[in-house]
Structures are given as structure tokens and as C-alpha cells.
Structure 1
Amino acid sequence: MTIQTLHRSLSSLRPKTFLLLFLAGVINAIGVTLFLAPVQLYDSGISGTAMLFWQLTPEPYTLPMFLVLLNTPLFLFGMKKQGLTFTVYSLWAVLIYALASFAINTFFPTSGASPFAGDDLLLCAVFGGLISGVGSGMTIRFGGAIDGVEVMAVIFSKRLGMTVGSFVMVYNVLLYVAIGCIFRSWIMPLYSILTYCAAIKSVDFIVEGLDKAKSATIITSRADAVSEALSEAFGRGITQLPAKGYYSGKEQTLVYFVVNRFQIAKMKAIIQEVDPDAFVSISEVSDMLGSSVKK
């Protein structure tokens, strides 16, 4: 890494982002230390692995220590792939997660039961997953990661012929199987799978939002009329691309348009009214940058 690249990466760091990642680390610690750890449920990824090591080792070894020891080498190993900014943000989030976990265990010690959900494993699994997922989702949304297994997934998934999601899932399945074999009980691993599922939904909500955008691909012979009607109804820019039917050989136009899920019915009605023969395909949009809304 050159000095210029290092300077550019460091100059891109934002104090506001560090503050938001501080909040994310604290939230993640609350979910794990006040809901999961007291009843011996397990988080996913390196966090879950750290919890396992914590339970298998003597008293002086703590969860915060394993969180830092296991995550730090993974983020540093992935720095070339992910960049310095991502690595700094991620290490900061992990450090805050570890420090917040230490503080909670020191000042609000729990043993055998969650202070909020008692010893109800279902409540602890669901709410622990949801809360820790909020922390993880915030970390991802603001440019970092709070679990090193995600970095390993990005680096090794292609080499193994897997998607990033599949890599993470396989890691977690192996982790929960190992927990079941070590403790010769499958109750905690099965409840931990519920935690994992709840956390995934929570991460999706934080990263992508409740109201996901929808993209409509419209193939029509009346592109100008359809575009005009949609533009007047929604006040948005529309993209037109030339297209040609393979079987018919007819020249047509592909119209690309983005709406939210509450506008789909209205959009369909407008298209049907202008061109009943139009072909419409609707897909989910995970993220958007910029705006096509007309000033």
C-alpha cells in the first residue's frame, strides 16, 4: 500500500461513522450478553465461536478476549481484499462489542437467566438474535463488519465454488454441530439456529430497509405513451432501451422503472390501460444510489 493510498483511505474515515459503529457494537453486546450468553445459547460466526471457547476455558479467559483474538487476525488478513477503511471500521466495531460485553458482564452480571427473558430459551433465542442482528446490520450499513467469518466468506467462497451466503451458512452449521457433539445435547444448538434465523432477518431489515424498492422491466411497443403516463403519475425519471423480439423480429422498447412496493398495483393499472399487450417483469432491488425523481 502506497503512502498516497494510505492517506486517501485514512482521509475517508468519518467521526460520525465511528459514533454509529460505537452504537452498533453496544447493541450487539446487549443482544449477546443479556439474552444469549446467560442461558448458554450461541451467536453465529466468530461471535458464536468465541462464546464456545469462553465456555470451554477456565475463568480468566473471557468472551471479550476471544472476540478480539479471533476477529482481529481475520480482518487484518482480509485488509488487502476489503480495504483499509473497511478494516478500521470493522476492528473498531469489534473492539466496542468486546468492551461493551466486558462492561455488561462486570456491572450487570447474569447467571443462568436473562434479566429480560428469564430462562425462556425461545424468547432469549428470538430477541437475542434480533437485537444482535440490529448491531450487525448497522455495522454493515455503515461500511464495516462485526464478524470475521464474513471476510473469510468474501475471500474463500469463490475458490470453493460457493456464494458468500452459503459459506457463512456452512460455517454456522458446522459450528452448531460441533457444539452439539461437544456437549452431547442438541437443544442449545437447535435454539441457536433460531437465533441465527432471527439475526438474518434483522440484518436484512437494517441494511435494506422495510420498504424495499422494486424494479419494473416493461417491454412495450408504446414506450413513449407508457413512459409519459408513468412519469406523470409518479414524477420519476424513466430509462428506455432499444430491444428486439427474437421470434417476432419486431423492434420494441424496454422501459426500466423503479417504484416502492406500495406503488406496484397503481403502476400495473397504468401500464394495462396504456398498452394491454405490454410484458412486465418485477424484481426486488437490494440497494440504490442516486435519485431519478424529477426536480
Structure 2
Amino acid sequence: MDELQRIWKRHQYVARASTAFIYGILVSIAMNFFWTPGKIYSSGITGLAQLLETLTRNQGLFHPSTALLLFMLNIPLFLLAWLQIGHRFTLFTFLAVVFSSIMIKLLKPITLTTDPIICAIFGAAINGFGTGLALKNGISTGGLDIIGLTLRKKTGKSIGTINMCFNAFIVLAAGAVYGWPYAFYSALGLIVNARVMDMVYTRQQKMQVMIVTNKPRSVVDCIQSHMRRGITIVHGAEGAYRHDKKTILFTVISRYEQHDLKAAMEESDPYAFVSIAENVQIMGRFYEPEP
């Protein structure tokens, strides 16, 4: 058993390191093939690195590249993650940022098009896919993710407002530097990036599940063996057709766990009635695995 656990842990490490490398390639493609030719700014720390590179380009002073700025801006956030989140999380976040910086530097810009709308949409879609893939495999891409996870761990609250304000600053900077139409193009990119990331990273999407069954104990045991979820049991329900006694079970899962739920139901009661409501809001405790 110990040997299997070591093999599984080693497999996870290799998978996460590979994902960090893939993310680095994808963000470099987004940056060098689309954002830079189209004069589009990304979100978060990456967008800030782009902004600082633009502002220092014609000053005759030290002119660091976007790749170097991306790494430098993340250094204090690595320290924060190491102290507040976890060493393993910090290691893979560090790898993701390092691979991103290296690939952005090595992969030379290719101007496929300078159309800002195309560059905003395709750059954001590629970056959103890479970010979602990274998050799905349990690693962060650095930047505001670290601040968000730290704040959520300490207070239980998200930093949605801080994210929006920071990205609004990036959008306004794009307008001030390149012209106000580019502010709208960058805003379009942020929307596409968020939508694609949500499509790939489904762990944060909550779903309410209602199960009507006559085998409640079997269903409860099987679900809880597949995933760590609390279940509310309502006894005394009655079927309207045959007037037989039923039990109703309520739980909330993430979209990421939908396959596990289906496997648990097929194993415990394949004839149960299961209703799933998407995009529910949660108040109270909802278990999320540590990064």
C-alpha cells in the first residue's frame, strides 16, 4: 500500500510539472502571437508586466522584458505562498511562472494578424485554456491567484472586488497607452479568458443534487466513499405513482465531481431518480481540497 501511494504521488508530481510546462507554452503563444502584435493587455500580474514593459520601452533607462518582469513581480508572491499556503503549492506555482517567463522569452513573436479583436479573442482563449488546465491539475499560475487563496484561507472570503479593480486598472492603462478602443479590446479579452477558464476548470462550479431512492444507506455510503461530501436525508417521501415509500437525499458537489457521482449512483442504486441544479450559491461550509 505504501509503495502504491508513493507511485501515485510521484505520478501526481510529474503530471503537475508537465501541466506547468504546457501552461508556459500556451501563455507564451498567447503573448507573442496575439497580445503583443495586437497591443492587447492580459489580466492580473501578466498584464501589469506588459504595462511596465511598455512604459519603460522608450525611457532610455533599464528596460526589462515582459518575461523578466513577470518573474520579478511574482517573487514576493512566492514568499507569501510559501508562508501562508504550502510548500508543494509554491513549488509548482514557481515552476509555472518560470516556464512562462522562459517560453515568453524564447518563443519569438510571430505576427499572424494585428487585428485587435482577433488578437484579444484568440489570445485570451489560449491563455484561459492554459490557466484552467493548470487550476484543474491543482497548480496556480501565480499572481493574484496567490493573494486570493491566502485571503480565502485567512478570512473565508474571495477577492473578486480586488480582481475586478486590478483588471479595470489594466484596461484603463491599455486605453491610455494605445488609445481607448484598445481598452475595450483588452476588456473583451478578459471576458473571453474568464469564460474559457471556467469551461476548463470546473472545480469551482457548484451543483445541487437531489436523489430520490429506496436504498438511502447504500447510496450515502457509496457517494461518501467516492467523494468527501455531506448529505442531508429526508425520510418519509412518497411516490405519487405507486405510493411507495422513498427517501430524498440532498447534497452539493462541484461540476468536477459529476463523473464520481454518476459512478456512485450506478454502483449503489442505478434506478434512483437524480436531479441536478447547476450554478447554485453556497452559504456555509463547503469542503474544497487543499491546493
Whether the TM-score (by the shorter chain) exceeds 0.5 is yes
Contact 2:39 2:116 in 1 (8 A): no
Residues 160-200 of structure 1 show CA distances to partners (whole Å, capped at 9, x for unaligned) of 996233332221112222333x4273211211111111111
Residues 65-94 of structure 1 show CA distances to partners (whole Å, capped at 9, x for unaligned) of 101111121122222222111111011111
Q: Alpha carbons of 1:244 and 1:167: their partners in 2 closer, same or farther (altered >3 Å)? A: farther
Contact 2:30 2:126 in 1 (8 A): yes
Question: Does residue 153 in structure 1 map to residue 148 in structure 2?
Answer: yes
Contact 1:157 1:163 in 2 (8 A): yes
**In 2, Cα distance between equivalents of 1:38 and 1:135:** 20
What 5-or-longer segments of structure 1 have no aligned partner? 1-9, 246-251, 264-268, 273-279, 290-295
Contact 1:133 1:202 in 2 (8 A): yes
- One-letter identity of the residue aligned with 2:66: L
**In 2, Cα distance between equivalents of 1:15 and 1:158:** 27
Residues 196-243 of structure 1 show CA distances to partners (whole Å, capped at 9, x for unaligned) of 11111121122128xx8954225x7xx528x69xx8xxxx86997444
Identity of aligned residues (%): 23
Deviation for aligned residue 1:159: 8.2
**In 2, Cα distance between equivalents of 1:188 and 1:14:** 40
- 2:19 corresponds to: 20
Within-5 A mapping of 1:50-69: 50-58=49-57, 60-69=63-72
Question: Does residue 87 in structure 1 map to residue 90 in structure 2?
Answer: yes
What secondary structure is seen at the aligned counterpart in 2 of 1:50? Answer: helix
Contact 1:153 1:164 in 2 (8 A): yes
**In 2, Cα distance between equivalents of 1:156 and 1:214:** 24
Q: Alpha carbons of 1:104 and 1:242: their partners in 2 closer, same or farther (altered >3 Å)? A: closer
**In 2, Cα distance between equivalents of 1:18 and 1:26:** 13
145-154 or 42-51, larger mean C-alpha shift: 145-154
What secondary structure is seen at the aligned counterpart in 2 of 1:217? Answer: strand
Q: CA RMSD in A?
A: 4.1
- One-letter identity of the residue aligned with 1:79: W
Counterpart pick for 1:194 among 172, 182, 188:
188
- 1:74 corresponds to: 77
Please report the TM-score for the alignment, with normalisation by the length of structure 1.
0.67
Within-5 A mapping of 1:1-295: 14-58=13-57, 60-105=63-108, 109-110=109-110, 114-115=111-112, 118-156=113-151, 163-180=158-175, 182-183=176-177, 185-208=179-202, 214-218=207-211, 223-224=213-214, 241-243=232-234, 253-256=247-250, 271=273, 282-284=277-279
Q: Alpha carbons of 1:86 and 1:129: their partners in 2 closer, same or farther (altered >3 Å)? A: same
**In 1, Cα distance between equivalents of 2:144 and 2:214:** 49
What secondary structure is seen at the aligned counterpart in 1 of 2:160? Answer: helix
Give the paired residue count: 242
Deviation for aligned residue 1:49: 0.4
Deviation for aligned residue 1:41: 0.4
What 5-or-longer segments of structure 2 have no aligned partner? 1-8, 225-229, 237-245, 263-270
280-289 or 84-93, larger mean C-alpha shift: 280-289
**In 2, Cα distance between equivalents of 1:137 and 1:14:** 18
Deviation for aligned residue 1:146: 1.5
- One-letter identity of the residue aligned with 1:55: T
Q: Alpha carbons of 1:147 and 1:188: their partners in 2 closer, same or farther (altered >3 Å)? A: farther
**In 1, Cα distance between equivalents of 2:160 and 2:11:** 28
Larger radius of gyration: 1
**In 2, Cα distance between equivalents of 1:95 and 1:24:** 11
Contact 1:25 1:94 in 2 (8 A): yes
Please report the TM-score for the alignment, with normalisation by the length of structure 2.
0.68
What secondary structure is seen at the aligned counterpart in 2 of 1:16? Answer: helix
Q: Alpha carbons of 1:160 and 1:175: their partners in 2 closer, same or farther (altered >3 Å)? A: farther
Contact 1:90 1:139 in 2 (8 A): no
Deviation for aligned residue 1:153: 2.4
What secondary structure is seen at the aligned counterpart in 1 of 2:164? Answer: helix
Q: Alpha carbons of 1:255 and 1:42: their partners in 2 closer, same or farther (altered >3 Å)? A: same
